């Protein structure tokens, strides 16, 4: 298909059809059953005869594009994303986290001149810098759902250039990425574990999550990408695109306890200090 949206055939190069429906190719196949065109026509016929199997729900009779399950999941995903992002925006306002915020990271390993600083070093100096990037529109609420793949991924939500870094140093040595910390009710700290009832601590799986805002940044997020419905559509489309390997059995959503708590927090009915993680073992409550 061209940039104008017009279909072009890869065989005869005419507009209005593709190779699978090319009349010239079919004429050539009828004229010479042993030709390459005949082989192509036969192959396309076999492909059309195969039963359709959905790459999302793994059932036959339809494809991913027409899957009713994926359509329902997209609606739930968008609803969960809006709720979680509203909670995140409120949390960022309360903590002063935004563009222009001065932050200090207490657990980042980084280069300071010719020396590599590690948090366990006796002379460790926590890196400090100004947040200059807004949170990406791809930031997923899966970060707030225990045991999802994103929950324990060190997805850099923000980054800053370390104060004191030499301008001549490569950007990757000057830049410190920070990960969202565990936030009660918004990003659970503990999970169920992958092999039964053992407890999984998110802090043991991620880096650069122990940080603090030294001086607050922006507090107006009305034009932020996290609040933009157009950007949300991009996030949904990106998440459910075939190449992302998202399938129905790996779909995650908030349970009723966490969803209700998030809604109450966003609506101002409870404070952050009253939020609790879902299904946390009693010894940690």
**Residue 197 sits in the same domain as residue 276:** yes
Q: What are 74-99's pLDDT values in tens digits?
A: 999 999 999 999 999 999 999 999 99
Where helices occur in the chain by DSSP H, the ranges are 23-31, 36-49, 68-95, 171-174, 229-240, 256-266
* Per-residue pLDDT, 1: 44
Is the residue at 45 inside a domain? yes
**Residue 42 sits in the same domain as residue 68:** no
Tell me the CA distances in angstroms from 254 to 115, 180, 200, 233, 273, one per residue in order.
44, 18, 18, 20, 20
Express as a percent the part of the chain with pLDDT over 70: 92
Task: Enumerate the β-bridge partners of residue 93.
Answer: none
**Residue 32 sits in the same domain as residue 70:** no
Band of residue 220 on the pLDDT scale cut at 50, 70, 90: confident
Total domains in the chain come to: 2
Q: What are 185-207's pLDDT values in tens digits?
A: 999 998 876 665 677 889 888 88
Tell me the CA distances in angstroms from 174 to 106, 127, 154, one per residue in order.
16, 10, 19
What lies within 8 Å, CB to CB, of 241 at 6+ separation is none
Choice between 15 and 273, residue whose per-residue pLDDT is larger: 273
Question: Is-above-0.85 flag for pTM?
Answer: no
Distance of CA 268 to the CA centre of its chain: 27
Polymer length in residues for the chain: 285
* Per-residue pLDDT, 244: 67
- For residue 121, the enclosing domain spans 64-284
Phi and psi of 37, rounded to 5°? -60, -40
Q: What is the mean pLDDT of residues 247-251?
A: 89
Element (H, E) at 115: strand 115-117
* Per-residue pLDDT, 172: 86
Q: What are 29-48's pLDDT values in tens digits?
A: 999 988 898 898 888 888 77
Choice between 131 and 147, residue whose per-residue pLDDT is larger: 131
Distance of CA 126 to the CA centre of its chain: 28
Is the residue at 222 inside a domain? yes
**Residue 190 sits in the same domain as residue 250:** yes
Choice between 163 and 224, residue whose per-residue pLDDT is larger: 163
């Amino acid at each position: 298909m061209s940039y104008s949206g017009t279909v072009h055939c890869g065989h005869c190069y005419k507009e209005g059809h593709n190779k699978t429906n090319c009349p010239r190719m079919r004429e050539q196949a009828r004229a010479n059953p042993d030709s390459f065109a005949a082989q192509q026509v036969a192959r396309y016929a076999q492909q059309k005869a195969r039963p359709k199997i959905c790459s999302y729900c793994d059932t036959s009779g339809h494809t991913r594009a027409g899957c009713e399950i994926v359509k329902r999941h997209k609606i739930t995903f968008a609803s969960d994303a809006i709720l979680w992002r509203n909670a995140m925006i409120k949390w960022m306002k309360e903590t002063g986290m935004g563009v222009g915020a001065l932050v200090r990271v207490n657990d980042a390993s980084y280069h300071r001149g010719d020396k590599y600083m590690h948090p366990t070093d006796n002379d460790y100096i926590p890196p400090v810098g100004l947040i200059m990037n807004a949170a990406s529109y791809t930031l997923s609420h899966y970060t707030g759902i225990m045991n999802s793949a994103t929950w324990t991924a060190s997805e850099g939500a923000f980054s800053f250039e370390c104060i004191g870094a030499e301008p001549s140093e490569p950007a990757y040595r000057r830049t410190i990425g920070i990960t969202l910390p565990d936030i009660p009710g918004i990003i659970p700290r503990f999970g169920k574990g992958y092999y039964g009832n053992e407890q999984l601590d998110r802090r043991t799986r991620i880096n650069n999550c122990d940080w603090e805002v030294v001086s607050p940044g922006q507090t107006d997020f009305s034009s932020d990408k996290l609040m933009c419905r157009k950007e949300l559509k991009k996030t949904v489309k990106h998440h459910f695109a075939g190449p992302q390997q998202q399938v129905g059995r790996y779909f995650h959503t908030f349970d009723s306890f966490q969803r209700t708590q998030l809604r109450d927090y966003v609506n101002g009915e409870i404070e952050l200090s009253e939020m609790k993680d879902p299904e946390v073992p009693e010894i940690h409550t």
